[in-house]
Amino acid sequence: MAAAALVLAAGCSKKEAAEEVIGKPEVVVENGRFTPDVMWGLGKMGEFAVSPDGTRMVYANTYYSIEKNKGNAELYLMEAKPGAQPERLTTTAASEFNPVWQDDNTILFARGNDIVSFSLESRKEHVVLTVETGLEGFKLSPDGSRLLYISDLPVKRPESIDALYKGLDQTTGRINEDLMYRHWDSWVDEYPQIFLVSLAGGKADTSTIIPVLGNEPFECPMRPWGGVEQFNFSPDGSAIAYTCRKKTGKDYSLSTNSDIYLYTIATGKTVNVSEGIMGYDQNPVFSHDGTRLAWESMERDGYESDKLRLMVLDLATGEKTDYTADFDYGVSGISWSDDDKQILATVMYRGTNEIFAFGTADKSVRQVTRGCHDINSFSLCGSTIYAAEVSQQHPAEVFRYTLAGCNQQGEQLTSINNEVLSQVRMSKSEEHWIRTSDGKEMLVWLIYPYDYDSTKVYPALLFCEGGPQSMVSQFWSTRWNFEVMSGAGYFVIAPNRRGCPGFGTAWCEEISGDYGGLCMKDYMTATDYFASTMPQIDPERIGACGASFGAFSIYWLAGHNENHRFKAFLAHNGMFNFEQQCLETEEYWFTNWDLGGPYWEKNARTAKSYPNSPHLFVEKWNTPICVVHSEFDFRIVASQGMAAYNAAKLRGLEARYLYFPDETHWVLKPQNSLLWHRNFIDWFDKYLK
């Protein structure tokens, strides 16, 4: 594709009509209780970057307006030390994101379709590049001479189909002749690719724009999660390593086989350096000396939750080494130490996300951090680690660690929400290891109710995790927030049942093809354990809730609740009918792996999954249930929730249906989220209080 076709320009972007800037809201905390309104009044830490000299840090922080039903991110600058006061750098109605240090006194960032340069000396900014086709993120080459940025290209219709649209500029009809016409939460009308452009005199030279993938119609980065982490410059700036699954349509929908490609800028030559590895290969990172390339690698095609191995390629010899061959946990967020003697990565480890270091010479493994927290991302600057850290009691803040440390606690640097959280009486979260029905040990988090009094008795909620291969960790979220549940007066029982990563490969894989098996027994075991051992939990007032696989779990438990263990259910965007799900979803490798294949194949029909479809047990439903579903969830479409709700009503049960016509697999808009939370609390209060 010719560079001119992208319609790109360097210079100042068009000014839009003045719009009121969303700023820090006034938050009222009553009686120390954490409520959904308090939650949405908190700032949300975004991307952060440390200056080359390690003395300063810039970060994005988003505040939300319930009235405007949206948020706005601004950039803040602070010294990289505890107690430093941040300085606000931007004040605009358009959110800033993707901050990058060009040098110790210049920051690049994205705003709308612009890449902007901001001088810390003059406090002035100018537009480096405007990307008319949309900007999703960018990276700066090590020598500062080039940019790699993400923009979208339109999917081209076949000429025979395009001819049918002639003169019909107002039609809304869609014609498809292949699969993957929708993905996760959007119609596939465009796809992302990376483009290379040279910088000169502080501006991008648009005459030099090169589409790195040429005319290939493939995603880079990969939808729906991929971003700037999926590509990197080599240290000398001569090459680019990128992630791509070079498939479209039906082939794409059936496979997770992505690869790492090495593109040489001078020649335009591209080589697949992970060929023969059949699962996801992603997020390549060069060693500082440029001799090796590391990435996250899955072994098996079609299994999205396979162990993420730490794969390292010697670029001279072509030899690949798996540094996690004897380590039973997956890695993500790879970073090389300055001397290339260690590779750091985050690891889901026994209920928390921690940083581990892998020795490149002796394949040693060392746990760098340890705490009741999740480290979501980190940046290594010399011998100092800067980490975005959350827990069930606090949203993301930046903490500091040392590279040489072991099992260390972090030192908090930012304090975005201290003013509000200092007024909140946060609940206690306890780690319990209990015996499962087959004699194994399972980690269950027990979150205590707000203002807990040991002389009182409280209702409880069983939290069923989604995924299904997703760890119940120390996460913080505006979607499922344990402090909100606690603030409403509930104990929360949150098991890491079979299928949760972070407890070894075998534990994680026991769920695939057996959704109604040990993982469901784990839920019942955890519920019964606390109902019988915690006198402060009323066994007659226990409900259960969950989303995605967690909502499937609710539908399944509803059909296996003969002893009325649970008195009320809430299911959000879950699978109700497996045969329906098999053909309604978009990434078919998912159901092929986890359900055993399409339902019309004999082996799949006689396996454990399809006979355990929740819709087959509706005649046993005997408990009030609230169903929530969203229209733009293309992974588990809205008809699944509607069918479950209709079944409950036809069975004569008390039931409620909350439907969002403008949300996805999650509820993201502030006002919709507040309705979701009000409904959640109202529903369980009605039956458990």
Residues with catalytic function: 548, 633, 665
In this structure, are residues 109 and 118 in contact, taking their beta carbons and an 8 Å threshold? yes
Within 10 angstroms of residue 220's Cβ, the number of other Cβ atoms is 23
- 3-class SS of residue 48: strand
Q: Give, in degrees to the nearest 5, the angle at Cα 496 between 354 and 364.
A: 30
Which two tokens mark 113? 């379709």
Look-up: residue for tokens 């612009």?
114
d(CA 87, CA 75): 9
Burial 416-440 (b: 16+ CB within 10 A, else e): bbeebbebbebbebeebebebeeee
DSSP, collapsed to helix, strand or coil, labels residue 291 as coil
Helix axes 518-533, 549-558, angle to 10 degrees: 70
Report in angstroms the alpha-carbon separations of 32 from 345, 427, 452. 37, 11, 12
Q: What is the helix (H) or strand (E) element at residue 150, kind and residue range?
A: strand 146-154
DSSP, res 339: T
Cα 558 to Cα 560: distance, rounded to the nearest angstrom: 5
Give me the sheet containing 270-272, strands edge to edge.
231-233, 239-244, 259-264, 270-272
Helix (H) or strand (E) holding 434: strand 429-435
The DSSP annotation for 187-201 comes to: E-SEEEEEEEEEEET
Q: How far apart are CA 115 and CA 320, in angstroms?
A: 37
Q: Among 134, 139, 142, which residue's Cα sits nearest to residue 191?
A: 134
Cβ atoms within 10 Å, residue 173 = 7
Q: What b/e readout covers 336-366, taking b as 16+ CB neighbours within 10 angstroms?
A: bbeebebbbbbbbbbbbbbbbbbebeeeebe
Q: Hey, what amino acid is at 638?
A: A
Sign of CA dihedral 675, 679, 682, 688: negative
Nearest by Cα to 614 from 640, 632, 587 = 640
Which tokens belong to 348?
């889901």
Which of 53, 136, 65, 57 minimizes the C-alpha distance to 89? 57
**What distance lies between CA 668 and its chain's CA centroid?**
13
Residue 545 burial by CB count (10 A; 0-12/13-18/19+): exposed, middle or buried?
buried
Biggest CA-to-CA distance, the chain: 75
Q: What are the backbone dihedrals phi and psi of residue 109, each rounded to the nearest 5 degrees, phi first?
A: -155, 170
Give the Cα separation of 392 and 496 in Å (integer). Answer: 15
**How far is CA 18 from each of CA 93, 94, 616, rounded to the nearest angstrom?**
8, 10, 56
**From the CB of residue 179, how many other CB atoms can be counted at a distance below 10 Å?**
17
From residue 649, give the alpha-carbon distance in Å to each of 543, 621, 657. Answer: 19, 11, 10
Cis peptide bond N-terminal to 468, omega within 30: yes
Query: What is the Cα–Cα distance from 239 to 262, expressed in whole angstroms?
Result: 7
Distances (CA, A) of 665 to 469, 573, 662: 16, 7, 11
Tokens of 590: 């998912």
